């Protein structure tokens, strides 16, 4: 709070920290909203409190319309920004949602090829930028059936946009929603605060171990 006599300025505007404005499930227990007491706590679980933000109907700005492997008509697509926010089970870790892995773990650039999504492959280069080709144990070039050297192909990495080190370490995500960002206004301040709080406590999938399903 602000003491105008000590601070020499006007009182700060009231700050109301609630979760009701997000329009998604609240991480606060029902008895704690709106009657917050010293014994109240929030418990943030990714599938219960963060995934609903991506699924929330926002008309044309609904996150999973663009950030998914299929568009609104069910046609296969490359997720916008190489970021899939869908709530399906991840092919990398079946106990996690796809969006959780996409936001926090390294991935590869994908492309559409012959009606299928696949990792993009590019020719590897050495430290001097020279293209690399397959060689045998003696260092001799391996040639294909046409007598041409066979390039060494590698995937193209995509860095995660969020970090378990907290919101301040996740500028690639939050900068999108700042003034002039490509996603300005698409998430409300309350929604962005909820995501920040989740990141600042470690971006755990479950923040109560007793809520995690038994193995």
Mean pLDDT of 96-107: 98
Q: Assess contact for 213 and 53: CB atoms under 8 A.
A: no
3-12, 62-71, 179-188: range with lowest mean pLDDT: 3-12
Tell me the per-residue pLDDT of 17-39, one tens digit each, with 9 for 90 and over: 778 789 898 888 777 777 778 88
User: Can you give the residue ranges of every domain in the chain?
Assistant: 4-120+156-211
Counting other chains too, the contacts that 20-24 makes at CB distance below 8 Å and 24 or more residues apart are: 21/188, 21/190, 22/53, 22/188, 22/190, 22/191, 22/194, 23/56, 24/49, 24/52, 24/53, 24/56, 24/191
162-196 pLDDT, tens digit per residue, is: 999 999 999 999 999 999 999 999 999 999 999 99
Helix, strand and coil percent figures for the chain, each rounded to 5: 30, 15, 55
The number of beta carbons lying within 10 Å of the beta carbon of residue 54 is: 22
pTM: 0.86
């Amino acid at each position: 709070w602000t003491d105008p006599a000590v601070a020499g300025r006007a009182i700060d505007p009231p700050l109301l920290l609630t979760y009701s404005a997000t329009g998604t499930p609240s991480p606060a227990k029902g008895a704690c909203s709106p009657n917050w007491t010293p014994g109240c706590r929030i418990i943030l679980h990714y599938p219960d409190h963060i995934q609903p933000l991506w699924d929330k109907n926002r008309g044309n700005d609904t996150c999973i319309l663009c950030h998914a492997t299929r568009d609104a008509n069910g046609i296969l697509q490359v997720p916008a920004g190489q970021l899939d926010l869908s709530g399906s089970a991840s092919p990398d870790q079946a106990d996690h949602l796809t969006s959780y892995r996409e936001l926090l773990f390294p991935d590869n650039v994908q492309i559409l090829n012959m009606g299928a999504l696949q990792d993009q492959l590019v020719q590897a280069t050495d430290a001097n930028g020279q293209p690399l080709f397959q060689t045998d144990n003696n260092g001799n070039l391996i040639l294909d059936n046409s007598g041409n050297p066979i390039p060494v192909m590698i995937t193209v990495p995509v860095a995660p946009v969020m970090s378990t080190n907290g919101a301040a370490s996740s500028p690639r995500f939050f900068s999108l929603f700042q003034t002039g960002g490509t996603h300005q206004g698409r998430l409300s301040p309350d929604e962005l605060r909820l995501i920040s709080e989740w990141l600042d406590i470690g971006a755990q999938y479950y923040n109560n171990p007793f809520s995690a399903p038994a193995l």
